Structure 1
Amino acid sequence: MEQPMTINEHGFTDPYDAARARSFGSSLLNILLMAIRPQTLVLSVVPVMAGSYWAWATHATVSSAVVICAIVASAAIQIGTNLWNDVKDGMRGQDGTGRLGPPRMTALGLASPKTLRLWAYAAFGTAIACGLVLVAIGGWPIVVIGVVSIACGLAYSAGPRPISFSPHGELFVLVFFGIVAVAGTYYLHTGLVSASSIGLGAIVGLPAAAVLLVNNHRDRISDEKAGRRTLAIVVGRKGTHLLYGAMMVLSVVGAALFLQPHGWVGWLAMAVPMVVAVWFTLGFRKEPVSPRLNAYLGRTGSFQLLLAVSIAVAVGFPN
């Protein structure tokens, strides 16, 4: 591994702080794990599982090859996007020692941009490799989905107008980590794109978008100084609190309207995530902008998983 460098006013010119490196572990594997942010990868897995479940529930069909390749491809795109984001923000001189969120390896000088960029390419390459299997199953629509997904992953932090600098990040997540992932997986299993798969994708995508909203709310001060106009900055503190609550609660309301559960088991399955959604919303509103908001990243991601499981319980399984 090449010598990592820290950023100062002259660029990447000074050796990294050894004490800081030891605090995270100096092995390449540990540094990569920190940059990948594995605790967020549930956002890639849940939509694929939701789309697979819906294919099973509505058509009693599911392909293990599709499940495995879709999960790996989806997670690889997210990993590549995270690594690319780490590199680009680090090279801009952002997200250094004063960062409130999880540490970024490039900005802290624990890995060079070249190293993480190569691993980002490897992640996108893995997604392409798995995507070729999916293309053999689903044809040209999967080519379009794959190309656009990878392009957006790169454009999230790069280019003249990065998505991460705009108010459109949450919409990007809703579309690609919700609608596209669920409906695309459903299509791979069934050969169809139904209104119900699109609706389920929107429902599952709302908590994923809420995760990014929490992230942008936490970083609102540093982001605004860096010239960003994220949704959290545009709508303000109170607007962010309201929007987070709306995303969480509407995902459950949408699921209930979508499923129209029958019997007490179905309604109980919907009541559990509703209670959790309200609980998290109230807690999020009370939390000041601080590193303590990081807990809501994991909690909101776990809520997405809870919602998906609750939907499965409410609908049941085919005979």
Structure 2
Amino acid sequence: MQPQTTPQVPSINQDKGFRIWWKLLRPHTLSAAFIPVTIGTVLALNEGSIKLSIFIAMLIASILIQAATNMFNEYFDYKRGLDNESSVGIGGAIVRNGIKAQTVLNLAIIFLSIATVIGIYICIMSTWWIALIGIICMATGYFYTGGPIPIAYTPFGELVAGFFMGTVIILIAYFIQTETLSFTIFLFSVPIAILVGAILTANNIRDLDGDKENGRKTLAILLGRKNSICFLALMFIASYIITLILVFSGVATSWSLIVFLSIPKAISAVKQFIGKVRPIEMMPAMKATAQTNVQFGFLLALGLFIGHYM
């Protein structure tokens, strides 16, 4: 008989130098910031030329807000005693690398402050109504894991993240370029919002057991692991079907169908969750989910860009 072998899984090690701060940003989640900005800006091309300076400003501000949200997550989970040295999927700056919790909180506040300054520039170049929306977005980032009832601990995490990091950002990115909005732009935002939510679903599937022990009520806990994986698959399917509908209804050109090139990555994400129970074993699936968002988003942006000039 052949001896049984244990599958190789990533290990959790203490990081050093720049890598500590890089992992604190949780870079695999930042696609939820730059993909919507890119798509909203490309959609604005249909109304004429775009202002590159506003695009860059919006891109940087969105990434800073997402990174700050991740830091608030790290800080508040540590304060509530939810993170430890063996926790998977966290930056680990506090519990593994000895960075003071207050330092992480201060850095998050600095990031939001810089985003605010950039937001003022965007308002000057467009409209001050953006300031109100920006404040709501930043407050949502804070209350996602902060406050008495964090959004991330409820079944509404995917809905809130998808709406604000998908739909709202696309609408803002489009509006600051064109000063108009339409239902069509909202329709384009829906598949991206779903995929942003999918990143959270994948995260919650991975953390299901630990979250349940700590009293969270995420959607993954309510559905159970098997049903949550099915739900993740349905989220992927819905994104592709909606894109297909947009093309066949004439809202998008056939070039948008290139998003289907990202299907293998979506399939990989679902398959890598099946049969896994240890959080560290599910990290490849979590990564594949984020990569699906990146691939789908860039392909959609490319298809919209090509379709505009063809």
Q: Secondary structure at the match of 2:88?
A: coil
Residues 82-109 of structure 1: per-residue CA shift (max 9 Å, x gap): 1111111111111202313244222336
Q: Residue in 2 aligned with 1:209?
A: 197
Q: Give yes or no for the alignment of 1:45 onto 2:31.
A: no
Q: Is the 8 A contact 1:47 1:178 kept in 2?
A: yes
Q: Residue in 2 aligned with 1:55?
A: 44
Q: Give yes or no for the alignment of 1:170 onto 2:161.
A: no
Residues 14-59 of structure 1: per-residue CA shift (max 9 Å, x gap): xxxxxxx99311x4x4332221112321221110001011111x22
The verdict on how the C-alpha distance between 1:134 and 1:267 changes in structure 2, with shifts beyond 3 A counting, is closer
Q: Residue in 1 aligned with 2:76?
A: 88
Q: Residue in 2 aligned with 1:278?
A: 267
Find the aligned partners of 1:121 and 1:201 in 2 and give their Cα distance.
28
Deviation at residue 281 of structure 1 after TM alignment: 2.5
Which of residues 304, 309, 318 in structure 1 aligns to 2:308? Answer: 318
Q: Pairwise mapping of residues 169-318 of structure 1 onto structure 2 (< 5 A)?
A: 169-260=157-248, 266=255, 269-315=258-304, 316-318=306-308
Kindly provide the amino acid, as one letter, of the partner of residue 273 in structure 2: F
Find the aligned partners of 2:29 and 2:228 in 1 and give their Cα distance.
21
Q: Give yes or no for the alignment of 1:160 onto 2:148.
A: yes
The verdict on how the C-alpha distance between 1:271 and 1:109 changes in structure 2, with shifts beyond 3 A counting, is closer
The verdict on how the C-alpha distance between 1:109 and 1:303 changes in structure 2, with shifts beyond 3 A counting, is closer
Q: Give yes or no for the alignment of 1:76 onto 2:64.
A: yes
Q: Residue in 2 aligned with 1:23?
A: 14
Kindly provide the amino acid, as one letter, of the partner of residue 251 in structure 1: S
Q: Secondary structure at the match of 2:308?
A: coil
Find the aligned partners of 2:256 and 2:177 in 1 and give their Cα distance.
28
Q: Is the 8 A contact 1:165 1:228 kept in 2?
A: yes
Residues 147-206 of structure 1: per-residue CA shift (max 9 Å, x gap): 001101110111111111111110111101110010110011111111121111121121
The verdict on how the C-alpha distance between 1:294 and 1:132 changes in structure 2, with shifts beyond 3 A counting, is same
| Most deviating of 268-277 and 299-308 | 268-277
Find the aligned partners of 2:296 and 2:285 in 1 and give their Cα distance.
16
Q: Is the 8 A contact 1:91 1:106 kept in 2?
A: no
Deviation at residue 288 of structure 1 after TM alignment: 3.3
Q: Give yes or no for the alignment of 1:141 onto 2:129.
A: yes
Find the aligned partners of 2:204 and 2:106 in 1 and give their Cα distance.
27
Q: Residue in 2 aligned with 1:7?
A: none
Deviation at residue 317 of structure 1 after TM alignment: 4.0
The verdict on how the C-alpha distance between 1:256 and 1:313 changes in structure 2, with shifts beyond 3 A counting, is farther
Kindly provide the amino acid, as one letter, of the partner of residue 271 in structure 2: L
Q: Is the 8 A contact 1:179 1:201 kept in 2?
A: yes
Residues 230-265 of structure 1: per-residue CA shift (max 9 Å, x gap): 111111112211210111111111111113398x97
Q: Is the 8 A contact 1:31 1:110 kept in 2?
A: no
Residues 250-302 of structure 1: per-residue CA shift (max 9 Å, x gap): 1111111113398x973861432344433433333343343121122322222
Q: Residue in 2 aligned with 1:36?
A: 25
Q: Is the 8 A contact 2:67 2:108 kept in 1?
A: yes
Q: Residue in 2 aligned with 1:10?
A: none
The verdict on how the C-alpha distance between 1:82 and 1:313 changes in structure 2, with shifts beyond 3 A counting, is closer
Deviation at residue 305 of structure 1 after TM alignment: 2.2
Deviation at residue 127 of structure 1 after TM alignment: 0.8
Find the aligned partners of 2:56 and 2:184 in 1 and give their Cα distance.
23
Find the aligned partners of 1:182 and 1:299 in 2 and give their Cα distance.
23
Find the aligned partners of 2:91 and 2:165 in 1 and give their Cα distance.
23
Q: Secondary structure at the match of 1:167?
A: coil
The verdict on how the C-alpha distance between 1:314 and 1:210 changes in structure 2, with shifts beyond 3 A counting, is same
Kindly provide the amino acid, as one letter, of the partner of residue 60 in structure 1: G
Q: Is the 8 A contact 1:252 1:307 kept in 2?
A: no
Q: Pairwise mapping of residues 63-142 of structure 1 onto structure 2 (< 5 A)?
A: 63-108=51-96, 110-142=98-130
